[in-house]
Structure 1
Amino acid sequence: MKSQPSGPGPESVSRDPVAAGAGTEPPPRPLRALTAPVRGRLTVAVGLQAVAALAGVVPFIAVSEIADRLTATAPADGDDLWPPVVLACAAGLVALVCGTAAGALAHVADNDLQLALRRRLARHIGRLPLGRLTERGTGEVKQAVQDDVSALHTLFAHTLLDVVAVLTAPALALAYLFTVDWRLALVGVVPLALGVFLFGRAMAGAATQMAEFGAALGRISAAAVEFATGIAVFKSFGRGRKAHERFVAATEGFADFFSRWVRTTLVSSTAAVLVVAPAVVLLLLSVAGAVFVTQGWTTGAALVPFLLLGPAVAAPMGVVGPRIQQIRAGQAAAVRVTELLHAPTLPEPAHPAVPDGHHVRLRGVSFSYDGRTDVLSDVDLDLAPGTVTALVGPSGSGKSTLASLLPRFHDVTAGTVALGGVDLRDIPATELYRRVGFVLQDVRLLRASVADNIRLGRPEATDEEVERCARAARIHDRVMALPEGYATELGTAVTLSGGEAQRLSIARALLADAPVLVLDEATAYADPHSEALIQDALSALAAGRTLLVVAHRLSTVRSADRIVVLEDGRVTEQGRHDELIAARGRYATLWDAQSSADDVREGSAR
């Protein structure tokens, strides 16, 4: 077995990456904390909306007063009628001005809040461990940055003012009606009380349902992103139907959940809306008023304000359902945004150090995702500069997890991963990613030109350098076949197959020129032709660099300088291909199994 250089490395240490990057706990009231920068303006907007709502009731009161004066025993003259007329006009103007100002101020405050939140999210997401983003996918980020911030917009720019209006105006109307005739006022309260009772029954358990509602939308969001980004890969293998199965399953699951929720609340919620409907309230007050007038308990003029304002007393219950849903949706969105903003970031070193060379050494490395079960246990490994080390093993053995530690997608639970004699946790992120690059099986391409996608690691690179790397990655000919060559924008009408995207990412890695590279199943999505091209590209990429390769097809790594076999998170064998075959251990078993499977496939093809 060919030995690797060894020597004394950094002492094995145990650090808690979660504790190191967690910071403070999320605030107990996320909604209040998020709105702190604009709370003053929102408070003024609420006050203006309340004034507008109160002023909007005054014209109806003025009309009632005019009716009362016109039907009085002594006929009213012009001097008696002008004051309520002027009052109605002035109140209408106040309602218009204050309502417009409230809406404008709330929207300006909300716009500033959205901008601030998206900036905070962008900064924070940029500091999250890459492993968190690759594990949970981009659905969580998309939901927070787009859907949740939009839900907060609805809450602050619209729902907040609507709630103030539907609560303030009925309060003034009811207070006035009690001064006119307290008995009819009580009749007008009956629909409101009944609506509150029925709506309370309909909303029983709503908090749990809204949580599931948000979770279901999150699953749809994640599945939609996966569908959009993966459709080209699936279609390139003739499996277009598979591409949308998870998305369809997520939408069907949401539909089933929502249907069950609607069925359990349909009767109560429908009855709650019906009993407070303006026509129903007006009919009730008309019948009760007619009885009162015929019995001599009140006058016809006294009935006017009840017919004008009575329906407004119960009006809040007619719109309270959607408003409560919007409030709960906003609260849930605030919780998710706050949780993402307080997610542990990648800890930056207190005393930054610069590596001396590019020798990679793992000592006593253990790792656990949940803090309880180790995925890797006591791994020792050396990657000498200029060599290729392949990680192989059965599915679930920890290959990708081990590879993810080198570009610091995660921090080790115990032990050290050192580059050039320096613990990765002591190397600033910008310095680390200048020295460590990676090509993953799930390639992410930006919605930008081909050249800009290749330049991602070196934005200042010239066109000649971009083309040189594309040629080395065996993707130049495919790029030149695109409508605008290197200026073609990806992600619109132009998409690349999985193998082509892999070669483009290899060109990107070549241009970045990192001396240490991690390749995780780089040929996973490639057809045989693309795989051959990718292997040629990888040969160009490996020249003069230190490579750590995660391989499923053992034939692709038989020439590696060292092959490391992982089982259950532990290194069980390591050596060159011929040495491992001769040892007749686990590697030899895997090789024989794959060789037999390849022979069967070749026979079937014939």
Structure 2
Amino acid sequence: MVVQDAGPRLIRFRAAGRLLRPVRAHLLGCAALSALGEAAGLVPYLAVAEIARSALTGAGGAVWWWAVAGALGALLRLVLLGLSSHLGHHADAHMLHHLRGRIVRHLGVLPLGWFRSAGSGQVKKAMTGDLEDMHNLFAHSLGELVGAATATVLGFGYLVLVDWRLALVTLAVPALALFCYRVAMRSMPQHMARLLIAEREVSAAAVEYGDGIVVAKTFGAGGRVLDRFTTAVREQQAAFRVWVDEVRHSSAFNRVLGSELTTLAVVLAVGLPMVAGGWLAAPDLLPFLVVGLVLPNALLPMVHGGIGLRTARVAAGHIESLLARPGLPEPEQPRRPDGHRVEFDRVSFSYDGVTNALTGFSAVCEPGTVTALVGPSGAGKSTVAALLPRFHEVTGGAIRIGGVDVREIAPAELLSLLALVFQDVVLLRDTVTENIRIARPAATDAQVRAAAEAAQIHEVIMRLPQGYHTVLDAGSGGLSGGERQRLTIARALLADAPIVVLDEATAALDPDSEAAVQDALSTLVTGRTVLVIAHRLHTIATADQILVLDNGHLVERGTHPELLARSGLYARLWLAQRNGDLA
């Protein structure tokens, strides 16, 4: 078992070392100050022991010197540990700033499709939980671990000078407690894994219950949804109970072993017979009753520091795995497209590397025309829309704009050529003006207003509490779905990109909202190369060409009348929608 874990542990250790390189000097200084502080903190204990020995032996000459040394040691400990904490937090702030900057810069070169699949959860974990674990290492765990180890080594060294036999006995008690703790915690990874899975299930069930409470109550299924939550909670309780049942006795035994009273009792049980037998002078027993208590006191900080160090290594491994994820390849010598003709040349793509979501797709979208993509769910329509701006990299074939492969165009320039309007509207927690201006940061207020007017959202904005200065919160400032969609169309109009991609922009809207959005879209698409993914076929009946996809293959191509005349898949989809509307 140890051999199997050695590889991953070594990898995580090296990952932590690489991430900590920018603040290595700060951390060494923090560790050194912590060690010196705990060494100074040991002096008052030594002073008490030596003063007591001097009193018993009648040698009082050094009493005042020890008293002064003890007071100075206590004061110096406060100063040094304060400096260590300050340096550790300074390193923490510097390192977290550095790591956040690295992560954000790296996120800027990752394919956008990765974020739309599973990447968002990994980013959230790295930016919150993993960085918090790294913070604990910088600000707390490292100092605790080094300081406790220093106090243990120096305290034991002093006791060895007094009597090595009783020193070994004194050290044996916390050493045994630490050994028993390691044995008791040997199954901790397995229990933690089960507990974390159970906690995720509880969270998911709670969110599901909250989001679906209206539907559940409407259809009388509230009990079923609540049962899922209850089952998840019971699994969490069971996971925790199994762990507690396994370690409760050993944990209690460790607490007894690691207490100062146990050390004191052992020292007296062994030391008093040694004194009675003449093997140890009575005054020499006092240091073990005073300084010996430092050893168990250092046990808990060492345990906590060790846990913090292991947790930080795991967090460092997670962060480095994110930073190691390959970014979108950038061309060494970017080319500029000649025009805005879009060409799909035998394009294939697979999300999992096994099954193709798109196979041999070829099409040409001429400037000033509208090309519509239609087909059943899962046919590959959204895949085409995601490949054009390089949200994903094609696995076969090529996509060209103005005769240039999109992989040879600089990513920033490629995105500047495209205006993207998706069904899922994303608005920033900012003012209405800034939500529109994000398409062109240098745009003036007049240009923002003109784009809003063209998107037929200006009057709606003026009815908001602060107009264009209204901050859109999580509820989007009271805007309806259609109004939020028109806001994104205003954003696309402001961008003034020559190529427009519309991914089912009206699929989730009511008829009135759809009509308003269609009017706004008519302004957006004028004179541009337009690629439309449509669910409602009546919205693309006038398109210059309609491409029909099925299972990732292009099965039909033509205008609306031509496709209806062929009585193929498009005709069947059209008839099904028309009958549904009439019903």
TM-score bucket (shorter structure): 0.7 to 0.9
Deviates more, 1:466-475 or 1:318-327: 318-327
Is 1:42 aligned to residue 22 of structure 2? no
Whether the 8 Å contact between 1:137 and 1:222 is mirrored in structure 2 is: no
Whether the 8 Å contact between 1:139 and 1:221 is mirrored in structure 2 is: no
- Taking the aligned partners of 2:231 and 2:490, their CA distance within structure 1 comes to 36
Output aligned runs, 1:59-458, within 5 Å: 59-72=44-57, 75-77=58-60, 79-136=61-118, 138-207=120-189, 255=236, 259=240, 262-263=243-244, 264-289=246-271, 298=280, 300-458=282-440
- Taking the aligned partners of 1:193 and 1:126, their CA distance within structure 2 comes to 50
Whether the 8 Å contact between 1:140 and 1:218 is mirrored in structure 2 is: no
Shift of 1:255: 4.7
Aligned to 2:483: 500
What letter corresponds to residue 50 of structure 1 in structure 2? A
Shift of 1:276: 0.7
Whether the 8 Å contact between 2:455 and 2:489 is mirrored in structure 1 is: yes
Deviates more, 1:152-161 or 1:490-499: 490-499
- Taking the aligned partners of 1:261 and 1:508, their CA distance within structure 2 comes to 55
- Taking the aligned partners of 1:547 and 1:573, their CA distance within structure 2 comes to 19
Cα distance, 1:92–1:184 mapped onto 2, change above 3 Å: same
Whether the 8 Å contact between 2:195 and 2:240 is mirrored in structure 1 is: no
Shift of 1:296: 5.9
Shift of 1:169: 0.5
Shift of 1:427: 0.9
Aligned to 2:6: none
SS of 1:143's equivalent in the other structure is: helix
- Taking the aligned partners of 1:377 and 1:250, their CA distance within structure 2 comes to 43
Deviates more, 1:129-138 or 1:112-121: 129-138
Whether the 8 Å contact between 2:145 and 2:306 is mirrored in structure 1 is: no
* Structure 1 residues 163-210: Cα deviation after superposition (integer angstroms, max 9, x where no partner): 111111012212222333444434433432332233223322445666
Deviates more, 1:468-477 or 1:436-445: 468-477
Cα distance, 1:531–1:103 mapped onto 2, change above 3 Å: same
SS of 2:62's equivalent in the other structure is: helix
- Taking the aligned partners of 2:203 and 2:108, their CA distance within structure 1 comes to 21
Cα distance, 1:262–1:538 mapped onto 2, change above 3 Å: farther
Shift of 1:265: 4.0
Structure-1-length-normalised TM-score: 0.84
Cα distance, 1:411–1:449 mapped onto 2, change above 3 Å: same
Shift of 1:351: 1.7
- Taking the aligned partners of 1:289 and 1:110, their CA distance within structure 2 comes to 46
Is 1:562 aligned to residue 545 of structure 2? yes
Shift of 1:364: 1.2
- Taking the aligned partners of 2:413 and 2:202, their CA distance within structure 1 comes to 37
Cα distance, 1:540–1:260 mapped onto 2, change above 3 Å: farther
* Structure 1 residues 239-277: Cα deviation after superposition (integer angstroms, max 9, x where no partner): 9x9xx99x9899969956963674354443443234213
Deviates more, 1:261-270 or 1:81-90: 261-270
- Taking the aligned partners of 2:231 and 2:532, their CA distance within structure 1 comes to 34
What letter corresponds to residue 317 of structure 2 in structure 1? V
Cα distance, 1:528–1:376 mapped onto 2, change above 3 Å: same
Whether the 8 Å contact between 2:344 and 2:400 is mirrored in structure 1 is: yes
- Taking the aligned partners of 1:265 and 1:521, their CA distance within structure 2 comes to 56
Aligned to 2:454: 472
* Equivalent residue for 1:54, pick from 29, 39, 63: 39
Cα distance, 1:231–1:351 mapped onto 2, change above 3 Å: farther
Is 1:483 aligned to residue 465 of structure 2? yes
- Taking the aligned partners of 2:362 and 2:543, their CA distance within structure 1 comes to 18
Cα distance, 1:272–1:394 mapped onto 2, change above 3 Å: farther
- Taking the aligned partners of 2:29 and 2:39, their CA distance within structure 1 comes to 15
Whether the 8 Å contact between 1:348 and 1:428 is mirrored in structure 2 is: yes
Q: Any stretches of 5+ residues in structure 2 without a counterpart?
A: 1-10
- Taking the aligned partners of 1:36 and 1:321, their CA distance within structure 2 comes to 25
Is 1:582 aligned to residue 562 of structure 2? no
Deviates more, 1:345-354 or 1:526-535: 526-535
Cα distance, 1:587–1:254 mapped onto 2, change above 3 Å: farther
What letter corresponds to residue 514 of structure 2 in structure 1? E
Aligned to 1:548: 531
* Equivalent residue for 2:501, pick from 487, 493, 518: 518
CA RMSD of aligned residues (A): 3.4
Whether the 8 Å contact between 1:211 and 1:332 is mirrored in structure 2 is: no
Cα distance, 1:362–1:265 mapped onto 2, change above 3 Å: farther
Shift of 1:298: 4.2
SS of 2:531's equivalent in the other structure is: strand
Aligned to 2:8: none
Deviates more, 1:507-516 or 1:393-402: 393-402
Whether the 8 Å contact between 2:198 and 2:236 is mirrored in structure 1 is: no
- Taking the aligned partners of 1:253 and 1:387, their CA distance within structure 2 comes to 59
- Taking the aligned partners of 1:260 and 1:39, their CA distance within structure 2 comes to 41
Aligned to 1:22: none
Is 1:572 aligned to residue 555 of structure 2? yes
SS of 2:438's equivalent in the other structure is: helix
Aligned to 1:536: 519
- Taking the aligned partners of 1:216 and 1:136, their CA distance within structure 2 comes to 20
Whether the 8 Å contact between 1:392 and 1:564 is mirrored in structure 2 is: yes
Aligned to 1:16: none
Cα distance, 1:492–1:131 mapped onto 2, change above 3 Å: closer
SS of 1:483's equivalent in the other structure is: coil
Whether the 8 Å contact between 1:439 and 1:509 is mirrored in structure 2 is: yes
More RCO (CA 8 Å, sep 6+): 1
- Taking the aligned partners of 1:401 and 1:342, their CA distance within structure 2 comes to 26
* Structure 1 residues 282-325: Cα deviation after superposition (integer angstroms, max 9, x where no partner): 34445555555566654553333223233321334434454333
- Taking the aligned partners of 2:338 and 2:233, their CA distance within structure 1 comes to 55
Whether the 8 Å contact between 1:435 and 1:515 is mirrored in structure 2 is: yes
Cα distance, 1:572–1:368 mapped onto 2, change above 3 Å: same
Shift of 1:136: 2.3
Aligned to 1:33: 18
Whether the 8 Å contact between 1:273 and 1:317 is mirrored in structure 2 is: no
SS of 1:185's equivalent in the other structure is: helix
Aligned to 1:5: none
Shift of 1:93: 3.4
- Taking the aligned partners of 2:578 and 2:154, their CA distance within structure 1 comes to 84
SS of 1:259's equivalent in the other structure is: helix
- Taking the aligned partners of 1:209 and 1:359, their CA distance within structure 2 comes to 58
Counting matched residue pairs gives 562
Deviates more, 1:295-304 or 1:545-554: 295-304
Cα distance, 1:319–1:377 mapped onto 2, change above 3 Å: same
Cα distance, 1:370–1:220 mapped onto 2, change above 3 Å: farther
* Structure 1 residues 449-504: Cα deviation after superposition (integer angstroms, max 9, x where no partner): 10011011112222222122222223223222221110111126735443332221
SS of 1:566's equivalent in the other structure is: strand
Aligned to 2:5: none
Aligned to 1:13: none
Structure-2-length-normalised TM-score: 0.87
Whether the 8 Å contact between 2:202 and 2:233 is mirrored in structure 1 is: no
- Taking the aligned partners of 2:81 and 2:559, their CA distance within structure 1 comes to 78
Among all aligned residue pairs of Structure 1 and Structure 2, give the percentage whose two residues are the same amino acid: 43
Deviates more, 1:264-273 or 1:83-92: 264-273
Cα distance, 1:500–1:268 mapped onto 2, change above 3 Å: farther
- Taking the aligned partners of 1:403 and 1:551, their CA distance within structure 2 comes to 11
* Structure 1 residues 16-44: Cα deviation after superposition (integer angstroms, max 9, x where no partner): xxxxxxxxxx9982111111111122112
